[in-house]
Amino acid sequence: MPTFTAPDGVELAYRVRGEGDPLVVLPGGPMRASAYLGDLGGLTAHRRLVLLDLRGTGASAVPADPATYRCDRQVEDVEALRVRLGLERIDLLAHSAGGSLALLYAARYPHRVSRLALIAANPWALGRPATPEERLEAARLRVDEPWFATAFPAFEAWLAGEGEPDWTAVAAFFYGRWDDTARSHDAAADEQTNAEAEGVFLDPDAFDPPALRSALAEVTAPVLVLAGEVDGGPRPEVARLVADAFPNAELAVQPGAGHYPWLDDPEWFVRRVVAFLAAGQPFSATATSRAHR
């Protein structure tokens, strides 16, 4: 994997997959190695993905100072990657908690972002993370699933902080389709995640929501906010609040999708993201794949 040096000297790695114009990708987790993103449902057929391993994850080095895991402290890592790639401006895609890092980057470097896609981005940076009530509301949409009766009590216990729940049951609510692909994807999470860094990344001191909203109101780059229909973090209505923070943003809700929409319906996901990245190309919201007809 190619590497570059962050401003504080930490060696960071990124993987390159696919062909075409580069698309810089920030992983979520928080602090999960970029391997979990795979090829983003086949997006590599259209764009060259540059998938950053955040410091202390994947092939990137562990920093000497754990405080640098904080979300705002990693903005300069993204800027250093842009410089390493030799790009004047970047198309940027971020998933989940990586969305907060992307928001902070866009606010600090608005002139370096050409287009921004926020995928299932729980807006911690805007002071509006998903609430337990919203997650339960989304979970109840799955009442007809054969696993619901067993999984829902475990999900409630997890949200209430009642000991260690059966995570296999809880994880089902994060996927639109709880199939073998989803199970395999979830099983890799612990190994791919820097557990020490998760809480540091989301340190409340990393975020100043009023100042961020003010800065994002000046970002002129086109923005796509994509939410899963059955995702609890964020619900589509919360994702709309993210879109509303920008002057030039659109909200897309992927039918039947959870927190990893490229796994739930790759065709829909890729078609929607590619239409956004290829400025001016129309997207037919009625043209869904067989998975959700």
pLDDT tens track of the chain, all 293 residues? 999 999 999 999 999 999 999 999 999 999 999 999 999 999 999 999 999 999 999 999 999 999 999 999 999 999 999 999 999 999 999 999 999 999 999 999 999 999 999 999 999 999 999 999 999 999 999 999 999 999 999 999 999 998 777 888 999 999 999 999 999 999 999 999 999 999 999 999 999 999 999 999 999 999 999 999 999 999 999 999 999 999 999 999 999 999 999 999 999 999 999 999 997 444 333 333 323 22
CA distances from 8 to 61, 73, 74, 80 (A): 12, 10, 10, 11
User: How many residues are given for the chain?
Assistant: 293
Reported as a single tens digit per residue, the pLDDT across 27-75 is 999 999 999 999 999 999 999 999 999 999 999 999 999 999 999 999 9
Give the DSSP per-residue string, 255-283: TT--S-HHHH-HHHHHHHHHHHHSTT---
Token pair belonging to 61: 């080095």
pTM recorded for the entire structure:
0.94
pLDDT on residue 285? 39
